[in-house]
Structure 1
């Protein structure tokens, strides 16, 4: 383990933390997802040898990785499996230098209906990753948390010392996974750190999230209105390329404290209602907005405000967002417009609640 830690220290001491993944063997769990696919792409462009773990399925699909640019896709080792399988995870981590653990069940509404599956994947799956990293002397693990662990803010902006509040089964399982990562750092000196992204948005995001579901309805001529739930919560949105850069920053930085969480967010918040107005203005959409109760969370479960204090991450790594909300929304609108024009989105409406 000492040789591997010396290797990562040598890389960072030469000031290459922004692009110093050349020659490193990197594993990304959950690489087939929204953030995972962007992180995989960025790692390849930074010179890493990337193994992308995707959830096995019978459709011969690697999720969003199937839509990576050809020059990137050809450089990725695609691996199907499941973080719930400890033997598989352990075999996957042989000779791996850095692990970015993103595999998780994330749909908050579904967590109310199938809480056990979230425990199995988010908690037990994380335990398998930590045990495998420990057994294989991995030199750095970046575990993915979520701003949802804070619940409704008791004070804003939210720093990492804010109390953790499980306001959904999903957030409760992410709190449990975070505590496992902290415990393994304390108990076994495991070099694991925790990234806690606030709301991330951009191309490839599922319509479960608010920005893509609004963007789809705004741009799809088959939608005569914009159907949405509660428009009053405030959210801190970060463009996906900036979130991916935060992962890379934590993956090499020597100033991080193992077992500690680091927020990644812009520090600016906007209500869902004002966000819809901004998207409509950017796209010149005049469709009416209709509230649907089925899209709202249970009364005591809604998180009213999430605004990040990312000072800890910025001081440790120098990271800060570079793409503002307006520019990110423009890029996202361009992506949705292209997909709708090319027919790669189903014509029938089935917008997520």
Structure 2
């Protein structure tokens, strides 16, 4: 692979991937391009900055000149950079379309011009929309229900169009819900953990019956590396974690780990277009050798322990949450929540 450009490499999943790929003997250089929005922090890369292979560039994926300059010096692109919070997409859909769709097109266009050898576009199970039963395969139609998911579905199609039209070696990954250390506290696991650790209540939409599949971030990064190395250009790969549960079941586990009880939980009206259930069939990527190895119970306990021991990382983010996470639900008691 030689030289890898990672967009969004200072974000949650991206930073875990950067640390992983830096360990590869056949990777000579890793360049991170990140706009450092509210969810991206150089602190997420931490000790990775000690590695001489790593170069960091502060910039935006819609900056065509910058993107062109960077892509021409790399043999592979792994594209994490995206606006990713459902609630935010309700009030700032234009930003999501600009970053997720136009940004992807800008990268793919540069990859076409400079003949990159691999291009991995990282996406989400939310593009398939809700499934009341069964599990989505890579051949299923896209039925996104919210602006965030729609912008990711559109970006998937843009990326794949560059394979079909220009033969850019694009692969798309679609993962289920990730969890792990250094996730911004707008997402449900760190949101609930950081509130419970401060003795504050948490809120469950409806009766907490929304079902999600949970995937440790390190398992997702392992799968993405498999696709980077052995994925077939033009193909899509679902990445699941094998642990399905309702948000109420997840909350019960977090309460126990944070030494809290159900008196800390309030039930509130459901948010706009909150899909009841997502589910992925990930048998296709198993053919590349993927198998999730992180036990959910142990991984969740380790994640909670990380937040317990790193209040200096997440406390400033929670102080700024009112400014960075718009509340669009008419129920003023609702806390922002993304699953």
TM bucket by the smaller chain? 0.7 to 0.9
Q: Whole-Å Cα distance in 2 between the matches of residues 54 and 87 of structure 1? A: 15
User: Taking structure 2 as the reference length, what is the TM-score of the superposition?
Assistant: 0.88
Instruction: Choose from 55, 59, 64 the match for 2:41.
Output: 64
Instruction: Choose from 89, 107, 120 the match for 2:98.
Output: 120
Equivalent in the alignment of 1:329: 300
Q: Whole-Å Cα distance in 1 between the matches of residues 319 and 186 of structure 2? A: 16
Q: Do the aligned partners of residues 39 and 285 (structure 1) sit closer, same or farther apart at CA in structure 2, a change above 3 Å counting?
A: same
Equivalent in the alignment of 1:226: 202
Q: Whole-Å Cα distance in 2 between the matches of residues 206 and 69 of structure 1? A: 16
Q: Whole-Å Cα distance in 1 between the matches of residues 236 and 7 of structure 2? A: 19
Equivalent in the alignment of 2:220: 243
Would the aligned equivalents of 1:94 and 1:136 in 2 still touch at CA under 8 Å?
yes
Structure 1 residue 349: Cα displacement: 8.9
SS in structure 2 of the partner of residue 78 of structure 1: strand
SS in structure 1 of the partner of residue 108 of structure 2: helix
- Cα RMSD (Å) of the superposition? 2.1
Equivalent in the alignment of 2:327: none
Instruction: Choose from 262, 268, 273 the match for 2:243.
Output: 268
Matched, 1:101 2:73: no
Q: Whole-Å Cα distance in 2 between the matches of residues 343 and 170 of structure 1? A: 26
Matches within 5 A, 1:187-198: 187-198=165-176
Structure 1 residue 227: Cα displacement: 2.5
Q: Do the aligned partners of residues 124 and 219 (structure 1) sit closer, same or farther apart at CA in structure 2, a change above 3 Å counting?
A: same
Structure 1 residue 175: Cα displacement: 0.9
SS in structure 2 of the partner of residue 129 of structure 1: helix
After superposition, give the CA deviation of every residue in 1:268-307 in whole Å (9 maximum; x if it has no partner).
Answer: 31000001111222333225211234xx421xx2111112
Q: Do the aligned partners of residues 325 and 148 (structure 1) sit closer, same or farther apart at CA in structure 2, a change above 3 Å counting?
A: same
Q: Do the aligned partners of residues 100 and 272 (structure 1) sit closer, same or farther apart at CA in structure 2, a change above 3 Å counting?
A: same
Matched, 1:55 2:35: yes
Instruction: Choose from 214, 218, 232 the match for 1:257.
Output: 232
Q: Whole-Å Cα distance in 1 between the matches of residues 256 and 158 of structure 2? A: 44
Number of equivalences: 318
List alignment gaps of at least 5 residues for structure 1. 1-20
Q: Whole-Å Cα distance in 1 between the matches of residues 94 and 295 of structure 2? A: 37
Would the aligned equivalents of 1:207 and 1:213 in 2 still touch at CA under 8 Å?
yes
Q: Whole-Å Cα distance in 2 between the matches of residues 238 and 343 of structure 1? A: 22
Would the aligned equivalents of 1:44 and 1:72 in 2 still touch at CA under 8 Å?
no
Q: Whole-Å Cα distance in 2 between the matches of residues 65 and 275 of structure 1? A: 30
Matched, 1:306 2:286: no
Structure 1 residue 328: Cα displacement: 1.2
